[in-house]
Amino acid sequence: MQLCNITVAIGGEAGMTVHKERVTVPEIMILRAVHGEDAVRNIEVIEDADIDASEERSRLGAVYKNPETIVRDVLGAHGNLPKTLDEAGIDDEFIVSNSVAKTKKSKKASATEELKVPQDDASTDAAA
């Protein structure tokens, strides 16, 4: 399961942010449900860890008690939890560009897509 460093805008307020370290993907999903879909930003994958889904569900249930059903409502009562940001459906716009998750995604895409080299407008203007 991916562990991430993140920034959370408390209640979705951009002026009230908290930096959290070593946050699991399921916890990011809960924080997004509580604070808003776009409240969790600057997601940086720092490592992949071997975390048991039932133990993580129990830990999250102990941490997030209000409302009492938040863990069950967001993640379901039992079963597998998403292990990656991709599995959780978290958009790239919230992921730090040099993060492990975005790097892996870029490599996967580059194997199937045509290479496009960005054109620098400044060099084009300078040559003219």
pLDDT of residue 120: 59
| Section 95-99 average pLDDT | 77
For residue 17, give the nearest of 53, 48, 42, 37 by alpha carbon.
42
More confident residue, 88 or 98: 88
pLDDT of residue 125: 53
pLDDT of residue 100: 61
Helix, strand, coil percent values for the chain (each to nearest 5):
40, 20, 40
User: H or E element: which one contains 44?
Assistant: strand 40-48
All structural domains of the chain with their residue ranges: 2-115
